[in-house]
Amino acid sequence: MLGSGDEPDPVADSQNRKVIDILPNRYESDLIKYFSQFESKKSVKYFVCDMNPYFRQVANVCFKNVVIVADRYHVIRQVYLAMERVRKNEQNKLSAGFRKYFKKSRYLLMKPIENLTDEEADRLALMFEIAPRLADAYRLKNEFLTVIRSGSSAEGKPKIADWLLAVEVMDLPEFNDCTKAYRNWFNEILNSMDVPWSNGFIEGCNNRTKVLKRVCFGMRNFCNFRNRILFCRT
């Protein structure tokens, strides 16, 4: 599984929770060169990655007939970012007092709807009364979370199609990038409903790498940085 982010990319065995290697970059040509050296690549059945087109191309070149799986975290992140863009745009239309209220209530929009208290639900209802477009964005976010939790791709395929159609009739251009990404990665998102794997372990590795980089006040030598990351993960 490949990592993501601005730090060196880890190659990891998520099942055994072990970092195998650290790559200096995510350039397509370098990734293809790296993975092409392994004879075992022929036995790879699934390739889990974020929604980066370079990663998909690497999978197609290096791992023939592999099933490409879009990492659920990055899939869900797209709809959260779309909703957040709506919140910011609606917030900017308001007076200073209401803008402050919307900003402080941001975390409520992210919180699972089933975990909201009555007071929090009332606060959201007030926000939605002031900004109906935000109410639509919130509903779309929650509906997509239901879609992505489908038990199989056969169950999820019509749900995603219906969700995309629902977005089209909304006056929410902030969702354009989100829906474009979902259409481009439609099959890979469906594949994620059929397997239990994700890049969660690798995302955790990325966070630790960032902490290590801050503690060291940066690392100028990649080889030393790579060795230190691997040492910390042993």
The model's pLDDT over 23-69, given as tens digits with 9 standing for 90+, comes to 888 889 999 999 999 888 888 999 999 999 999 999 999 998 899 99
Residue 138: closest CA among 73, 86, 74? 86
Give this prediction's pTM: 0.83
CA distance 30 to 106: 40
Q: What pLDDT was estimated at residue 25?
A: 84
Q: How far apart are CA 132 and CA 109, in angstroms?
A: 14
Taking Cα atoms as reference points, which of 84, 29, 74 lies closest to residue 185? Answer: 74
Average pLDDT, the chain: 88
